[in-house]
Amino acid sequence: MMWIWGSTAFPFTTAREEALWRDETWRLELLVSGMDPTILNWVSEGKYIFLYGVDDIEWIRKFTNNARAMATAARIPLEMAYVGKSKKRENVCRAIATINIEKLSYCWQDTSLIWYFWTRLESMLFSKIQLKRVDDQDPIMLQIKKLLSYDKDGSWALLCRGS
């Protein structure tokens, strides 16, 4: 509960956890709350935001350049944030270095934020399982499972506009 909601989860009971989930919706703030004010500022400005993760530098170059070109042509405000992968730390560090040098997109400089992002997602999954909320009717659970599956294999991007 602390990983997901911080001190808001107090008094850390099952009833409190159920109430927090009942009031929650699938939104970008759920994914990055308390982690990154930059992304939260983009949300409040109503920008289009790509979160993406992969450890393939060529894919990152191609994706960010194509996304930027599309946004420019369509005249839409687009920001991109690399959130990496939970494993393969050396590859993530190399990707961050390249992204910074080539100014491909925004990324977290501290790899512990990447670890925290993925750990929070896993904590959300475990919380839902513990509360027996694993059915296919729960849209938050479906999205959590989808993102966690992307972390295990392949390249992915999540597009949001604001929240």
160 phi/psi in degrees, rounded to 5: -130, 155
Q: Domain coordinates of the chain in residue numbers?
A: 53-163
Q: Which long-range contacts (CB under 8 A, 24 or more apart) does 21-24 make?
A: 21/127, 21/128, 21/131, 21/133, 21/140, 24/140
Confidence category of residue 162, pLDDT binned at 50, 70, 90: confident
- Treating both helix axes as pointing N-terminal to C-terminal, what angle do 111-130 and 14-23 enclose, rounded to 10 degrees? 110
**Does 91 score more than 90 pLDDT?**
no
Kindly state the helix (H) or strand (E) to which residue 120 belongs, with its residue range. helix 111-130
Residue pLDDT, tens place only, 66-78: 999 999 999 999 9
- CA neighbor of 53 nearest in space, from 114, 1, 97: 114
- Cα separation, 79 vs 85, in Å, equals 19
| Structure confidence at residue 55 as a pLDDT band (50, 70, 90) | confident
Band of the pLDDT at 20, cuts 50, 70, 90?
Answer: very high
> What is each CA distance from 3 to 32, 33, 68, 71, 105, in whole angstroms?
11, 10, 33, 34, 26
pLDDT at position 134, please? 67
**Given a cut of 80, is residue 153 above it in pLDDT?**
no
Q: According to the model, what pLDDT value does residue 133 have? A: 67
pLDDT band at 163 (very low <50, low <70, confident <90, very high): confident
pLDDT-derived band at 99, boundaries 50, 70, 90: very high
Average pLDDT, the chain: 91
| Confidence check: pLDDT of 128 > 80 | yes
